[in-house]
Structure 1
Amino acid sequence: MTNNKDPLLQPFQLKHLTLKNRIMSTAHEPAYSEGGMPTDRYRLYHVEKAKGGIALTMTAGSASVSRDSPPAFGNLLAWKDEIVPHLKRLADDCHSYGTAVMIQLTHLGRRTNWNKGDWLPVLAPSPIREPAHRHFPKEIEDWDIERIVADYASAAQRMQEAGLDGIEFEAYGHLMDSFWSPATNRREDEFGGSLENRMRFSNMVVDAVRQAVGPDFIVGIRMVADEDWDKGLSREEGVEIARRFAASGKIDFLNIIRGHIDHDAALNDVIPIQGMAASPHLDFAGEVRAATRFPVFHAARIADVATARHAIAEGKLDMVGMTRAHIADPHIVRKIIDGREQQIRPCVGATYCLDRIYEGGEALCIHNAATGREGLIAHEIARAEKPRKAVVIGAGPAGLEAGRVLAERGHSVELFEATGKAGGQINLMVRNPRRKEMIGIVDWRLAELERLGVPIHYDTYAGAEDVLALSPDLVVVATGGFSQSPELDAGDDLVVSSWDILAGTVKPEGPVLLFDDNGGHQGMSAAEVIANAGVDLEVVSPERFFAPEMGGMNHVPYARLFAERGVRITINTRLKSVRREGNGLVATLGSDFSKGTMEERRVAQVVVEHGTAVNADLYFELKPHSRNIGAVDYPALVARRHPLPKRNPESGFDLIRIGDAIESRNIHASIYDALRYCSLL
C-alpha cells in the first residue's frame, strides 16, 4: 500500500500509531449493544470493516462516561468496568487485520432524557430545553462538574486497559460544547461569559484524562467549530477553540463538525441525506486544518471514493470518514486496493440506517441486508456445493438481489421481467427528483448481474407453462405488487393512486387531497411532486403524525417543503368516501376517535396511498407443482439452515416468493428476503 500512488492508500502517522491508509469510519451508534455492552453483534459489525481494509474504526456514538448520561439510542456504557473485556475482544479482532480501534466518549448532557437509565436528573450548563428529546435539563452544579470530570478520567482508563488505540471526546450537541455555545450557556460564574470561562469544563476534562492515561495514549476531540446558528457558537470562536486545543499539546487530532443538532431540521444540515449537497462541510474542515496546522478528520456525506480521494489529495483532511458508505459496503478499501472500485456498493443517501435506530432500534442499510447481521449472513456469498438452474421472475429490488446472490453461489440464473426496465417501484420513487439517487440500488445490481453473466429477459411475461418448460431446479417469484386503495364507503372509482402521480399518468389538479394510509415514502413522494407542481394540497393521515414509518431524518425534507409551499397537514383523520359534485369532488373525512364526527373537503382531485396488493398469481399456479409446495421452515430459515421442506419429492424444483409478492413492505425487507433465502439455496 505504501508504494501505491493513490492518496487514499498512503499511511498516516498519528503520534506513535501508523494508520495504514486514510479511510476511517467515524463514531456512530448502530444500537447493537446489549445492556450497554458491545457484545458479538456490535463486535462483528466493526470486525467486518477491518476485514475490508479500513485503517481506523471509531466505536460508539457516543459511549457514556456517567450514570446521569443515560443511553438515548443504544449507547455503550463506558462507566461500567464490565465493558473492558468486550472492547478488548473487539480491538484484538480488528487489530488482527491491521485496523486501529478508538472510541468516542461523552456526557450527553441535555441530549437525552430523565426517563432513561436510572431516571437521574439530566444536566446542562443552563436549564434550556433541547427540542429533539423534549427535555428540560437541570443546571449543572459544582459537585456535578467534579464527579463528571473524574468520570471522564476513569472511563478513559478503561479504554486504555481494553487495548484501544485512543479515544475522542464528543463535543457537538453534548455537555462539553454546551459550555462553549452562547445558545446553551447563560452562566454568570467562572464557567460562563468569556471564551476562556466557557472552555474551562472541557479543559478540566482534558487535563484529568491526560493525567489518567499519560502522555502517549491518543486523545482527540470531535468538535463543532461553527454552529451555523445566529445565537450559537460562531465560526470565529469555534476555530479559535480548535486552535487552542491544537496548541495545548494535550489533544492529538481534531474531528471537525459544522452545525447544531438540537432539532431534526438542524441535524439534517449536519448529517445530510439524499437530495442534499454531498460533502457540504469538507471545505470548512479544510479551512480549520489550514488554520490549526494540525491533524484533522472529518465526515459528512462523503459517500464516494472520488470525493474522499480529493479530500486527501488537496490537503483538506488527514483522515476521511466514510461512515454511512461503510454501512453500505464495509469492503471499500479492499476493493480500491484490488482495482475493483466499480464493484463498491454505493451509499444512496436513503439514511434508513439512522432513522431505523429510532424507529426500529437498530441501524440497517436500505440495500445491504448483511450489515448488522454479520453473525448470521456473510457479506461475501459462499459458493454452493452443487450448481442449480434457477429462474427468477421479476426484476425489482428483490428479484435483482435474488439473481445476484444465486449467481454468486455459482448457480445458473435467468431473470425475467414483464416490463422493459428493471427496478420495479424504485422507478416510481426516482420520478421525484430529490430521490433520484435511489436508482443506485438498481444500477449496482445490474452491473453485478452483467459481471456475473446473468441474462435478463425484458418485456417477457413468464407464465407457469413458460417457467416449467425451462426445467428449473429453483424458481424465485419476485413479481411485486400493485397499488391498492383503502376501503371506502363510496367513491372508489373517483380516486387516483400515488403511483399515478409519480408515474406521470395523472397530472396534479388542485386543490388536491392526498390520503396517506401507509405512512412511508410512497405517499409523501407523491405529495412532494404535487406540492412542487404549485398545486394546493392537503395531506390527510389517520396517524398521530404524518408518515410515521420514515423516521426523523427523512421527515425533514418533506416537512420543510410542506411549510414552504403552505401544504395543510391533517392528522388523526380518515378518508371515508368520495362523491362527485359538479366539476369537482367532495371528500368526506371521519375520525377513529369520534364515530359521529364528519367533515367535508371540496377538491378537484383525491389521491390515495394504501400500500400494495400482492401480485402472486404465478406463485399460486406453480405452488402445487413444486417440491416444497411453497412451504418454508421458518425455524430453519432463522437458524440459517436449508429452509424448504420436501413435501412433493416427485417435483424437480423448489419454489419461493419474496418481497412485495408476499406482502406490502419496504426495499430493505425485499432485499433481505432475497439474501436470506438465496444464500441458503
Structure 2
Amino acid sequence: MSNDPLLQPYQLKHLTLRNRIMTTSHEPAYPEDGMPKERYAAYHAERAKAGVALAMTAGSAAVSKDSPPVFNNILAYKDEVVPWVRQLTDACHDHGCAVMIQLTHLGRRTAWNKGDWLPSVSSSKHREPAHRAFPKLAEDWDIERIITDFADATERMKEGGMDGIELQVYGHLLDQFWSPLTNDLDGPYGGGSLETRMQLLMDVLGGIRKRVGDGFIVGLRYTADEIEAGGISEAEGVEISKRLAESGMVDFLNVVRGRIHTDPAMTDVIPVQGMKNAPHLDFAGQVKKVTGMPTFHAAKIPDVATARHAVQAGLLDMVGMTRAHMADPHVVKKIMEGREDDIRPCVGATYCLDRIYQAGDALCIHNAATGRELTMPHSIAPAQTRKKVVVIGAGPAGLEAARVSAERGHDVVVLEAQPDPGGQIRLTAQNPRRREMISIIDWRMAQCAARDVEFRFNTWAEVEDVTALNPDVVIVATGGMPNTELFEAGQEQAEVVSAWDIIAGDVKPGAQVLIYDESGDHPGLMAAEIAAEAGSKVEVMTPDRTFAPDIMAMNLVPYMRALQDKDVTFTVTRRLKDVQRDGNRLKAVIGTDYSDFTSEKTYDQVVVNYGTMPMDTLYFELKPLSSNHGAVDYDALIGGEVQSVTRNPDGPFQLFRIGDAVSARNTHAAIYDALRLMKDI
C-alpha cells in the first residue's frame, strides 16, 4: 500500500475511487452526430487503463434542443445517446475507472443559428460577448420544460451506466439565473434575492432526485466567486456552497472561480502558459473547509507535486489534471511506477482548448496520439528489425523522430547545425510567458538520452556526412528560414527584417515599426510585444479580416494585456505590396484585397511575419541517392502501414522529410509528421 497521498482511495457515497486523480469535465469535440462513439471511448479508455480514478466526461453535454452545441458537444437530449454512453462507460469500467458526465443547458452561451434554429434562452436580456446571440427571457413554460429536460438527461446517463452526473453552473443557464449580473427576471426565479436566483437550480436538483433517486451521485461544477463587481462575491459564493451542502441533494462540489463570458475572463478561470499555476487552489480549500463537502477542483494543476500538495494539505479530495492527461494519459501509471520524471509535461500551450473554440477538435500541441488513440500509439512498440536511422535537425520534428525511432529499438544519430537543440521552440521560449514551451524539447532530449541516441551538435550536415553513417533511413527535419518575399512583389525584400530577427535580438526595434503579419501566428505578436516594450510606436497590419487568427482565443489574451496599454494599433484588410528606401526611412506601399485602393506610409522599420521557406537543399541532394527518391505512400501513412515505395532499387536508404522542411506549419504538425511516419519504420 503506497503512502503517496495521491494514491489513496477515496469514498464518494457508495463509490470507491481508487486514487485522488481525475480528469474534469471537458469536451474534446470528438462526438460524431452528437454521440460519443469509438473515438470518444478510446480517448477516455486510454486514461482509465493507465490508472486515473474518475473520468468526468463531456464538458457541457446538452440537455435541451434550445441548447445547441457550439463545439460539437454530446446531445444528451436524444434517447439514442444511451447505448453510446454504455459503450463509453464499459470501456472505462473495464479498467477500474469510475465515469461521470457533465450536463448543462447553455442558456445564452450558444447561438440561435445552430442545431434546430431555436432562439437561445436565458434569465438575461443581454447577449454573452463570447457567443454574441441575443437571448429571449425565459418564460414559465421554458423553465418547466428545462427542469424536465435535466431529469430526462440524467435518467439517460444512469441507464447508460454512468456513476453520476455533474451539473455545469458557471457561465451557463443555471449560473445565469443565480448571478446578479445575468438575472433580469421578476418573480420566483428573479434576480432580487439569492433564494430566488438559486430556485431554478434547486428545482432542477429536485427533479433529478425525483427521477433517479437519492443513491445516484449528483454534483456541481460551479463558480463560488465571480471576481467582478455586482456579481457573486466570495462571501455570497461561500453562502451558496453552504446552502448546497445543506440541501442534501448534492454529493460533491467542484469549485471554480471567475466568469467565462469573455475570452479574457475564461482565460483567468482556465489559465494558459505564463500564468500562475493553481491560482484558485487555496480558495477551493476554503470552500471545502466551510462546507465539509467532498471537494474537487481543477485549474492549471499541471504537475504531480502541486496535485500531491492539494490532497496532502487537505485542500481537495479529488484533484483534476485534465490538460496534463492530454499531454500524457499515463500520469497515474508513471506515479505508481516511480517514473514521475518520465511524465510528458503539459506546457500550458492550450492548443487543445483554443482548437475547439474555433470549431476544431482538441489536440495536444506535443502529443500527437491524444485524440487519435484509434490510430496513433501512446506507447511505441519495438520494431522487428533494428535499423540505422539518421535524423538531420534537432527541432521538435527531428527530436520526435529520434525519440520514436529509439523506442522502436533503432540505432539513432542526430545531426544538428546549432550548438543546442530546439529549433524554432528556442525562439518561442525567448518570451518569458512562453518559456514553458522549452519542456517540449527538454522532455524529448531526456527520452533520447535514456535510449542512447547519439547527438552531434555544431554539425552542418553535408551529403558525405550522412552517407558515411551507412543509414537505412534518413529523416530530414531541417526546418525552414523566415520568408521575406512578399507575394505581390515577387522577390526578397532587402529592406525588411523578419519577426525572427526581432525575437532573437539580432535586430533592435526602430522608433516607428510596421509588423506585417500575413501568417497570423505567434511570431508576429511576439515581435510586436518586444517592439512595444522597447518604446516603439507599433502598427500590426494584416491582409486578413481579423488579426492573428492562428493564435486563437485564449492565447491571444496575454498578448492583448501586454500590448493594449502601449502605442500599438491594429490594421486589418491591408496588404503590404512593396517596401522602398525613402531617405533614412522606409516607404510602404499598401493595398487591399477588397479594391484597387492603395496608399503609402513611412516607417523606420518594417518587420515581416510570412511563414518559413523549407531548408531543403540537403534533402534534394540526398533524393537521387535514396531508394524511394523521398516519396511517401500517403495511403500507407494514413493507414498505419510500412513505407515500401521503391523508385531506385539501388538506393541504400529510405529518405523522408518532415515538419517545416516540407512546408511552414506548426509544432503539432511537425510532431505528428514524425510520430505517424516513424512508428512504422
TM-score by length of 2: 0.98
Equivalent residues of 2:71, 2:359 under 8 A apart: no
Q: Distance in 1 between matches of 2:277 and 2:567?
A: 28
How far apart are the structure 2 equivalents of 1:644 and 1:523? Answer: 40
Which residue pairs with 1:506 in the alignment? Answer: 507
Measure the CA separation in 1 of the matches of 2:355 and 2:644. Answer: 30
Distance 1:172 1:282 in 2: 17
Residue in 2 aligned with 1:249?
248
Q: Which residue of 1 aligns with 2:442?
A: 443
Map of 1:164-313 to 2, 5 A cutoff? Answer: 164-192=162-190, 193-313=192-312
SS in 2 for 1:32: coil
Aligned to 1:613: 613
Q: Does 1:493 align with 2:499?
A: no
Q: Secondary structure at the match of 2:370?
A: coil
Q: Which deviations, in whole Å up to 9, do the C-alpha atoms of 1:374-419 show, x marking residues without a partner?
A: 0001100011111111111100000000000000001111111011
SS of the residue aligned with 1:492?
coil
Which SS does the other structure have where 2:187 is aligned? coil
CA distance in 2: counterparts of 1:191 and 1:94, whole angstroms: 39
Pair 1:541-2:542 in alignment: yes
The more displaced of 559-568 and 195-204 is 559-568
Q: Which stretch of structure 1 is more off in the superposition, 14-23 or 584-593?
A: 584-593
- Structure 2 counterpart of 1:441, which letter? I
Q: Which of 121, 124, 127 is matched with 2:122 structurally?
A: 124
Aligned-partner residue type, residue 502 of structure 1 = I
Distance 2:229 2:581 in 1: 51
Partner of 1:114: 112
What 5-or-longer segments of structure 1 have no aligned partner?
none
Distance 2:315 2:485 in 1: 53
For residues 278 and 136 of structure 2, what CA distance do their matches in structure 1 show? 36
Q: Aligned partners of 2:604 and 2:573: how far apart in 1? A: 23
Question: By how many angstroms is 1:566 displaced?
Answer: 3.1
Alpha carbons 2:484, 2:492 under 8 Å: kept: no
Aligned to 2:353: 354
**Match for residue 18 of structure 1?**
16
Quote the residue 2:2 is aligned against. Answer: 4
Match runs of 1:393-542 below 5 Å: 393-487=392-486, 489=489, 492-542=493-543
8 Å contact from structure 1 (residues 486, 517) kept in 2: no
SS at match of 1:190: helix
- Any unmatched runs of 5+ in structure 2? none
Aligned pair 1:31/2:29, yes or no? yes
CA contact (8 A) 1:254 1:296 kept: yes
SS in 2 for 1:215: coil
User: Equivalent residue for 1:639?
Assistant: 639
Q: SS state of the match for residue 49, structure 1?
A: helix
Question: Does structure 2 retain, via aligned residues, the 8 Å contact 1:25–1:57?
Answer: yes
Contact 1:491 1:577 in 2 (8 A): no
Q: Describe the superposition over 1:254-282 as per-residue Cα deviations: whole angstroms up to 9, x where unpaired.
A: 00010011111111111110111111111
Aligned length: 678
State the match for 1:141 in structure 2: 139
Deviation at 1:629, TM superposition (A): 1.3
| Distance of 1:467 and 1:601 partners within structure 2 | 49
Per-residue deviation, residues 44-96 of structure 1 (Å, max 9, x unmatched): 11011111110001111110011111111111011111111111111111111
Q: Which residue of 2 aligns with 1:658?
A: 658
The two structures, once aligned, show a CA RMSD in angstroms of: 1.1
Partner of 2:672: 672
AA aligned opposite 1:476: I
1:556 corresponds in structure 2 to 557
C-alpha distance in structure 2 between counterparts of 1:296 and 1:170, whole Å: 15
- Cα distance, 1:431 vs structure 2: 1.1
Deviation at 1:583, TM superposition (A): 2.2
Deviation at 1:556, TM superposition (A): 1.3
Q: AA paired with 1:321?
A: G
Give the letter aligned to residue 231 of structure 2: G
C-alpha separation in 2, matches of 1:144 and 1:644: 61
Residue 368 of structure 1 corresponds to: 367
Report the CA distance between 1:459 and its aligned residue: 0.4
**2:675 aligned partner, one-letter code:** L
For residue 217 of structure 1, report the CA deviation from its aligned partner: 0.7
Cα deviation, residue 237, structure 1: 1.4
Match of 1:339 in 2: 338
* Rounded Cα–Cα distance in structure 2 between residues aligned with 1:357 and 1:294: 32
Partner of 1:493, secondary structure, is coil
Q: CA-to-partner distance for each residue in 1:347-373, whole Å, 9 max, x for gaps?
A: 001110011113351000000000000
1:163 maps to what in 2? 161
Mapped to 2, the partners of 1:233 and 1:451 lie a distance apart of: 51
Shift of 1:621: 1.0
Q: CA–CA distance in 1 between the matches of 2:214 and 2:124?
A: 33
Shift of 1:644: 3.5
Which stretch shows the higher mean deviation, 660-669 or 517-526? 517-526
Given that 1:486 and 1:608 are in contact with CA atoms closer than 8 Å, whether structure 2 keeps it comes out as no
Give the secondary-structure state (helix, strand or coil) at the position aligned to 2:181. coil
* Structure 2: distance between partners of 1:368 and 1:311: 26
SS at match of 1:359: coil
1:233 deviates by 1.5
Q: Is the 8 A contact 2:536 2:567 kept in 1?
A: no
Q: The residue matched to 2:675 in structure 1 has which SS?
A: helix
Cα displacement (A) at 1:535: 1.6
d(CA) in 1 for partners of 2:314, 2:150: 33
CA contact (8 A) 1:491 1:579 kept: no
Letter of the aligned partner of 2:139 in structure 1? E
Identity of paired residues, percent? 58
CA contact (8 A) 2:428 2:434 kept: yes
> Matches of 2:274 and 2:589 in 1, distance apart?
35
Distance (Å, rounded) in 2 between the aligned partners of 1:292 and 1:40: 39
State the distance in 1 between where 2:670 and 2:200 align. Answer: 49
